[in-house]
Amino acid sequence: MKPLEKVSKINDTIALRSNQVFATMGFFWFCLVFSLIPLKWPASLPFVQYASSGVLQLIALPLLGVGTILAARASDKLGKEQHDAVMETVNDMHILMTELHQLHLELTAKVNEAIAPEEAQP
């Protein structure tokens, strides 16, 4: 594996795992409680502002974006595989229906042949 591929794989892993953490209700509640801390302790306001604007917006949001894109790739791949499987089944069913129709035509012809001599007798 090439060094760039290794770095890309590590980046993808970090983004996906970060997405699993940041895109949860637990993280939402953490952020909500964190933003309410200055109401009880006003002196903590500069730190809360720094952490929320610096860490959360500059780090978490890009990670969420990349993680979402990577998760969508996997979902798109799965959707394509499912679509291909369904289309293969549809094609198989079309072939079977064509064969069944041909068998029906042959059976109808044989039944008509069997009935025709009986109708010809008075």
Whole-angstrom Cα distance, residue 122 to residue 46?
109
| Residue 101's pLDDT band (cuts 50, 70, 90) | very high
Mean pLDDT calculated for residue range 104-119: 87
Q: What is the tens place of the pLDDT at every residue in 14-34? A: 888 888 888 889 989 998 999
At 89 the pLDDT is 96
In order of 51, 78, 96, 101, 118, the CA distances from 108 in angstroms are 80, 44, 18, 10, 16
Angle ∠(46,51,54) on CA atoms, nearest 5: 110
